[in-house]
Chains A and B, each alone.
Chain A
Amino acid sequence: MTNQANGKPLVLVLEDEALIALNLQDELRDAGYRTAGPFTTCAAALGWLQTATPDTAILDVALKDGPCLEIALELGRREVPFLIYSGHHKDRQLLAEFDHVTWIEKPVPHSVLVQACHQLLVGCL
């Protein structure tokens, strides 16, 4: 929880639709979060993760450079709670290791996403 020193948790956003990503970023900021990204590729998010760790993350499943599996595994290793926000149905084959992960199907009101982030953070206090 080191990122929350200034009271604003840091949310990593991985989403390759720029319009959706920027809108999400605005909504999160309005709700009192700071955002890392938005990243449109797994490679960019992995690059950022080399030097930093978020408090939580919102991940799209299918990015232009492939599925978000590697990011999910890395966040899992660091015990960072995250949620999946995707147009796909929950795909158990893709993320068999993440059966317990919150999976939210696009689209939902952003208040639902913000609330889900809040619960992830409360859950790991």
Chain B
Amino acid sequence: MLNDKLLPAWKECDRLAALRSYRIIDTPPEPAFDDLVELAARACQTPIALISLIDERRQWFKAEVGLGVRETSLDRSICLSAMLLPGLTIVPDLTEDPRFADNPLVSGEPHLRFYAGAMLRTPDGVPLGALCVLDHVPRNLAEEQAFTLTMLARQVMSQLELRRAIAERDERLEASHQIEQRQSLLVRELHHRVKNTLATVQALVGATGRSTGSFDEFYHSFSKRITSLARTHNLLTEDYWQTAPLREIALNELKPFADSRLPRFMLLGPSVELSADLAVPVGMALHELTTNAVRYGALSNPTGYVRVQWAVDEVEGPRKLHLEWREVGGPQVKEPLHRGFGSTLLQRILPMQCNAEVEVQYAQEGLRFRMEAPLVEQRLVPTY
């Protein structure tokens, strides 16, 4: 039973964590703590007083008078022993106590003889160190002095608690400041993106206007382009990382043909996520290709079909996306006389926007389109 009482109710790693939580180790001297050791030395009439905190491999002094050092190794620590004993530890003559007689600070300079230490412990009872007084001659403490030393030790703990509360409050303020900054950054980014999207829509108005003859035709093409753009944006915003799966982008366009009795399209390729930089232009390209197929190509008759195949090439440098659109079984294809917006998009916008290499072949058996573009790995949102 006696042994049980000697076992500490804490583990050393928890004790060190508690010590760290006060954010005190290696901080510069502070008057509040300097005053307390000064008071301890005067009350006990000793030349030396210390606030000693027991760190992992050393004892470190938050405040000291009369010793002239800020830390010593643990093998020279008398407080380490005092810390483990409840209340006040008084050693009238260190040279006569077998625990301390061989301590170099006792047997050699500065020849310490007397020690009195009041344990410093957290409200949970975890010991951090001691407030101690030392003398070069053997002696004892009067009852009043012992009482004062114990009270001063409590004051040291109050100061430590106060410091910790302030540090925690400052950290919370800093965190909320960071959240505010992040929010204002996101609002600015949103504002910028909205304006850019409006400018894109404006450009679509211009481009659609140039390639359509009547208002009805303009309205029809333009609305469908906007709808397609919106669907791609849906996919992008559904995902925290602001990427969209290529298969879903393609399905956005080809879904109306999914319920056909005969299969009208095939999507062949691994799961690959496209960032906005690639998803938006690729979505627009697939929209133009689908529209063209419905009007003139493999989806304009009952038997044709489209094969969309892709792969990601990781051989050298940045990952590359290979995408192929191939129409089969539609009416015989002729090279168009007039190049519309679709062709501008495939042959000029994709190369500019995505650094893509593209190839459009008006093969007799069906249109073929191929592109090869580096996958942009950059993430638009931070990883919190």
Contacts and interface: CB of A to CB of B under 8 A. Distances in A.
User: Is B one of A's binding partners?
Assistant: yes
Interface of A: 16-24, 26-27, 38, 40, 62, 87-88, 105-107, 110
Given A26-B206, A87-B192, A88-B192, A18 B348 contact: yes
Given A18-B348, A22-B348, 12 more contacts: A17-B196, A17-B200, A19-B345, A19-B349, A20-B200, A20-B202, A22-B203, A22-B352, A23-B206, A26-B210, A87-B192, A107-B199
A87 B348 contact: no
A14 to B, nearest CB: 12
A120 B349 CA distance: 29
B349 A18 contact: yes
Interface in B198-257: 198-204, 206-207, 210
A90 B371 CA distance: 37
Chain B binding surface, main DSSP class: helix
A87 B202 CA distance: 13
Given A22-B344, A38-B352, A40-B353, A17 B210 contact: no
Contacts of B349: 18-19, 22
Contacts of A16: 353
A27 B198 contact: no
Contacts of B345: 19
B195 interface: yes
B206 A106 contact: no
B281 interface: yes
A27 B206 contact: yes
Interface in B170-211: 191-196, 198-204, 206-207, 210
A23 B207 CA distance: 7
